[in-house]
């Protein structure tokens, strides 16, 4: 079962306790900037992970009506279309709600004003899992390895939401807070950033969403190089007989993305699969194709190209 960190409480909770119940993902992506795209990307990953687990999803976008450019940019980033929030009260009988917002918007959803001296977004540093006598999650343990980033504080609050519940929703669900995208130097325009949208998507997936994604041209170039390598490898593996995804590999992939959407962990599994000598090429291909249902990096794009 997918578990996510609820920014209201700082505790991991099931993303969708009613596994087969319709789940509404309410996404607040105001602003036309890379951080808004990262918020929408996080919602997209939630949709894909929940659907892979058999949970139906209804996704709503809260954004200014005069920003069609944001939706266009999201489409280029392989983010699935969102319903408009004007349909929010139509009442589809959803069983649960998940809210996704940039970290700075946390006070809006929790009803708690930032405390002087707190980090941006009202986050209150809490004790490390080890200090609470708990085992750190894979996502938290992997956070220190993200490129150019430090472990972000965990948002903690006992306050409940201030919004009235939406008709049809049984309860106000968890809040997923997304850290900002920070660009080293002058930030390029969105059209420039989206010149290679899959590279931008991969560069964002490499950083846990709790941590600022500090990007530059070098990060995008490295992501583009990794994509080229994986696509070339898949085109070669596709020429060999197909084999099922090995069950231990499938379990590792699911354990990673069900641990608070640990996408860096998913990418680590793919790197291991590419280099493990006792896997057949057919199994490698099917593993990458399976993971790409979540990653949406178009890894099979070069199938059929000349060797």
What are the tokens at 228? 């080229």
**Structure-block tokens of residue 125:** 């540093």
Q: Report the chain's mean pLDDT, rounded to a whole number.
A: 80
Sign of the torsion formed by the C-alpha atoms of 288, 291, 292 and 297:
negative
Which of 50-64, 126-140, 264-278 is least confident? 126-140
* pLDDT number for residue 93: 64
- Return the percentage of the chain with pLDDT > 90, whole number: 60
pLDDT top residue among 184 and 124: 184
- pLDDT of 18 reads 83
Rounded to whole angstroms, the Cα distance separating 105 from 63 reads: 13
What is the pLDDT confidence band of residue 229, given thresholds at 50, 70 and 90?
very high
Q: Averaged over 295-300, what is the pLDDT? A: 97
pLDDT digits (tens, 9 = 90+) for 35-80: 999 999 999 999 999 999 999 999 999 876 657 888 899 999 999 9
Q: How many helices (H) and strands (E) does the chain have?
A: 10, 9
- CA-based nearest residue to 244, from 275, 215, 293, 284: 284
More confident residue, 174 or 91: 174
pLDDT of the residue at 181: 95
pLDDT-based confidence at 104, cuts 50/70/90? Answer: confident
Partners of 287 in beta bridges: none
Q: Which residue has the higher pLDDT, 111 or 166?
A: 111
3-state secondary structure 162-204: CCCCCCCCCCCCCEEEECCEEECCCCCCHHHHCCCHHHHHHHH
Distances (CA, A) of 159 to 97, 155, 170: 17, 12, 19
pLDDT of residue 136: 43
Cβ-Cβ contacts under 8 Å for 283 (sequence gap 6 or more): 243, 244, 245, 246, 249
Structure tokens at 217: 């041209």
* Candidate from 70-74, 145-149, 158-162 with smallest mean pLDDT: 158-162
pLDDT band at residue 85 using 50, 70 and 90 as cut-offs: low
* Per-residue pLDDT, 65: 62
The pLDDT tens digits of the residues spanning 12-42 come to 999 988 878 899 999 998 888 999 999 999 9
pTM for the whole thing?
0.79
User: Is pLDDT above 90 for 128?
Assistant: no
The residue assigned the tokens 């009260």 is: 89
Question: Which pLDDT band holds residue 9 (cuts at 50, 70, 90)?
Answer: very high
pLDDT of 171 over the 50 cut:
no
Contacts of 75 (CB under 8 A, 6+ apart): 81
Closest CA to 246 of 286, 275, 277, 274: 286
Average pLDDT (1-14) is: 94
């Amino acid at each position: 079962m997918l578990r996510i960190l609820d920014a209201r409480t700082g505790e991991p909770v099931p993303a969708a306790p009613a596994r087969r119940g319709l789940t509404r993902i309410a996404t607040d992506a105001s602003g036309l900037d890379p951080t808004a795209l990262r918020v929408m990307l996080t919602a997209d990953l939630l949709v894909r992970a929940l659907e892979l687990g058999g949970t139906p999803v209804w996704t709503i976008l809260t954004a200014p009506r005069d920003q069609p450019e944001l939706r266009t940019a999201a489409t280029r980033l392989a983010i699935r279309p969102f319903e408009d929030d004007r349909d929010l009260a139509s009442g589809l009988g959803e069983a649960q709600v998940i809210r996704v917002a940039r970290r700075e918007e946390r006070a809006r959803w929790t009803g708690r004003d930032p405390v002087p001296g707190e980090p941006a977004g009202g986050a209150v540093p809490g004790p490390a899992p080890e200090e609470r006598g708990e085992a750190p999650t894979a996502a938290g343990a992997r956070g220190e390895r993200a490129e150019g980033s430090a472990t972000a504080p965990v948002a903690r609050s006992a306050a409940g939401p201030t919004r009235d519940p939406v008709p049809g929703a049984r309860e106000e669900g968890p809040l997923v807070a997304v850290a900002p995208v920070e660009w080293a130097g002058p930030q390029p325009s969105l059209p420039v950033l989206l010149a290679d949208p899959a590279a931008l998507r991969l560069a964002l997936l490499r950083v846990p969403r709790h941590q600022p994604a500090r990007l530059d041209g070098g990060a995008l170039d490295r992501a583009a190089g990794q994509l080229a390598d994986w696509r070339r490898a898949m085109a070669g593996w596709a020429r060999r007989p197909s084999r099922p995804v090995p069950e231990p590999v499938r379990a590792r992939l699911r354990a990673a993305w069900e641990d608070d959407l640990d996408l860096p962990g998913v990418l680590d599994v793919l790197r291991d699969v590419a280099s493990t000598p006792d896997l057949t090429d057919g199994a490698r291909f099917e593993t990458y194709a399976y993971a790409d249902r979540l990653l949406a990096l178009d890894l099979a794009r070069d199938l059929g190209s000349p060797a």
